[in-house]
Amino acid sequence: MSDTLDLHSKSQRPVPFEGRRLPYAAPALEKGLDIIELLSTEEYGLTRKDIAERLGRTVGEIFRMIDSLLRRGFILQAADTFFLSNRLFQLAHNFPPTKRLLNEAAPRMRELAQRCQQSCHLTVLNGTSQLVIAQVDIPDGVGFSVKLGSKLDTLRSASGRVLLAFRDEAEASHLIAQSRETTNVEELSYTDEALALIRSRGFEDMKSNQFSGVRALSYPIFDTNSHAIAALTVPYLARLDDFERPAASAVQAILADAAAQINLAMGTNSVLSL
């Protein structure tokens, strides 16, 4: 998930099947793996023609394989462009590509939920939506929480806006453009203003667009290039019968501390600007 790799380096691109020497050949499988490996290095995706050219194949040779990968959920499609999904992570979440992030976040998220008496969750971008890769329930079991593995809207959620606000500007613009078909003009016009505010204060604090009474607080988790790779969020819900639980302002401060700890553990100095 780090942006430190040179994504355009030829040495990091998968070698076409014809260029490999293997004792046993499974051409169809190799073709599918070549496509997956190639798309894993392309932040903005590739068209069928691009994929074929990069792998030294014809469009006809990869056409059915791309359709199979798309049908099985290993890749995603936006217009004529294909992207790698998080399907592999979903199948092997015990050894995810974000293993270090999860290892650093898990104990701090448990402490966060305990201190706040609220649930919390960690999301990453998955195409034009988000995937919940870690989640901790409210300690007493009564409250609002988001299920592990859930897909969340990006533009309408606090976590999604945080991920967009602290991503590379070109990538954020690309993701917003892809959401135009499912987002109205008013929401799109508000997006730039909202992202600018998030960058200014370092986090998002907003009323939920999906659930009445829920207040979403979200902070970015950065990579070494100061780009958000994840968002740590508390969906704050006040209890009418419990006045001892921390107020929203206190929860925001506790969440900021948890995000700062994770960022420091991940080796980024971006936390200093929050």
Query: Residue 252: which H helix or E strand, with range?
Result: helix 248-265
- Look at 130 and 18; give whichever has higher pLDDT: 130
Q: State the pLDDT at residue 190.
A: 62
Q: State the pLDDT at residue 171.
A: 81
- The architecture of the domain spanning 92-273 is 2-Layer Sandwich (3.30)
Kindly state the tokens that stand for 237. 């819900």
Asked if 10-85 and 92-273 have one fold, the answer is no
Q: Which fold has domain 10-85?
A: Arc Repressor Mutant, subunit A (1.10.10)
Q: Between the ranges 10-24, 44-58, 169-183, where is the mean pLDDT highest? A: 44-58
Q: State the pLDDT at residue 4.
A: 34
Q: State the pLDDT at residue 200.
A: 93
Average pLDDT, rounded, for the chain: 83
Q: State the pLDDT at residue 210.
A: 79
Domain boundaries, the chain: 10-85, 92-273
Q: How confident is the model at residue 94 (pLDDT cuts 50, 70, 90)?
A: low
Residue 178 contacts by C-beta under 8 Å, 6 or more apart in sequence?
78, 79, 128
Q: DSSP letter at 267?
A: T
Query: Residue 182: which H helix or E strand, with range?
Result: none
- Look at 174 and 71; give whichever has higher pLDDT: 71
**pTM across the whole model:** 0.65
Residues of 27-63 as b/e, b for ≥16 C-beta within 10 angstroms? eeebbbebbbebbebbbebbebeebbebbebeeeebe
pLDDT tens-digit readout, 95-115: 544 778 899 999 999 999 999
Say how many C-beta atoms besides its own lie within 10 A of residue 212's C-beta: 6
Q: How confident is the model at residue 12 (pLDDT cuts 50, 70, 90)?
A: very low
pLDDT at residue 14 is higher than 60: no
Q: State the pLDDT at residue 181.
A: 62
pLDDT at residue 13 is higher than 70: no
Q: State the pLDDT at residue 93.
A: 56
- Contact (CB, 8 A) for 213 and 141: no
Averaged pLDDT for residues 188-200: 80
